[in-house]
């Protein structure tokens, strides 16, 4: 089944928020070269292959974020600062089981779960979303071209 929708987690899939989750950082954020720093000097980095991956996928797939962060406002600001917001067609960013995020994505897009693929670094999310019938891929630290191409 060819996929129509590619869905990404944020923390430890798209970026590393200084070794923690973005809702544990301390805004305000500021840009320092290619990184973002929070007010305590923690460095928040986007994984090196993310923009290339999003560029490749854009136009061929619908793209979405599914994040259970408690600070959607901070997550959205980081997406803006990393200049990746425009790649995504759908943003589901709120706490709770990602089953809710995927039910909502199905409701909005009418895309079947079997036509979705999902990348996340947490086994609990991968397990729960797999149960819906979404191909769910565990990433260790950041999405890479190798993981993507092996999974699509
Ligand atoms: Mg994560």
Per-residue pLDDT averaged across 135-139, rounded?
98
In a domain, 53, yes or no: yes
Residue 34 confidence (pLDDT) = 77
In a domain, 27, yes or no: no
Per-residue pLDDT averaged across 31-50, rounded?
93
In a domain, 125, yes or no: yes
Per-residue pLDDT averaged across 51-61, rounded?
97
In a domain, 21, yes or no: no
> Domain range for residue 116?
5-15+47-151
* Exposure string for 3-19, b = 16+ CB within 10 A, e = fewer: bbbbbbbbbbbbbbbbe
* CATH number for 66: 3.40.50.1000
Residue 13 confidence (pLDDT) = 98
pLDDT, tens only, 98-109: 999 999 999 999
Which residues are designated catalytic? 9, 11
In a domain, 37, yes or no: no
**pLDDT, mean over the chain:** 96
Q: Ligand 1 center to residue 13 CA distance, Å?
A: 6
Q: Are strands 30-32 and 62-67 parallel, antiparallel or unpaired?
A: unpaired
DSSP 8-state code for residue 21: -
For residue 1, is pLDDT > 70?
no
Which residue bears the tokens 């993981």?
147
Percent of the chain with pLDDT over 90: 95
In a domain, 144, yes or no: yes
Beta strand segments in 9-139, E: 15-16, 30-32, 35-37, 43-46, 62-67, 90-93, 116-120, 135-138
pLDDT, tens only, 97-136: 999 999 999 999 999 999 999 999 999 999 999 999 999 9
Q: Which residues surround ligand 1, an ion (CB under 5 A)?
A: 9, 11-12, 121
pTM above 0.95, yes or no: yes
pLDDT, tens only, 63-87: 999 999 999 999 999 999 999 999 9
Residue 33 confidence (pLDDT) = 82
In a domain, 20, yes or no: no
Give the chain's domain count. 1
Q: Ligand 1 center to residue 57 CA distance, Å?
A: 20
Per-residue pLDDT averaged across 4-14, rounded?
98
């Amino acid at each position: 089944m060819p996929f129509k929708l590619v869905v990404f987690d944020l923390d430890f899939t798209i970026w590393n928020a200084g070794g923690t989750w973005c809702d544990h950082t301390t805004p305000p954020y500021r840009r320092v070269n290619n990184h973002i720093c929070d007010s305590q000097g923690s460095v928040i980095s986007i994984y090196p292959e993310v923009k290339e991956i999003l560029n490749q996928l854009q136009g061929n797939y619908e793209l979405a974020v599914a994040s259970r962060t408690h600070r959607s406002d901070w997550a959205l600001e980081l997406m803006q600062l990393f200049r990746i917001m425009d790649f995504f067609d759908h943003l589901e960013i709120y706490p709770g089981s990602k089953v809710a995020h995927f039910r909502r994505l199905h409701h909005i897009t009418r895309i079947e779960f079997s036509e979705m693929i999902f990348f996340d670094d947490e086994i609990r999310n991968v397990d729960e979303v797999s149960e819906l019938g979404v191909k769910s891929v565990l990433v260790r630290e950041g999405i890479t071209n190798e993981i993507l191409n092996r999974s699509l």
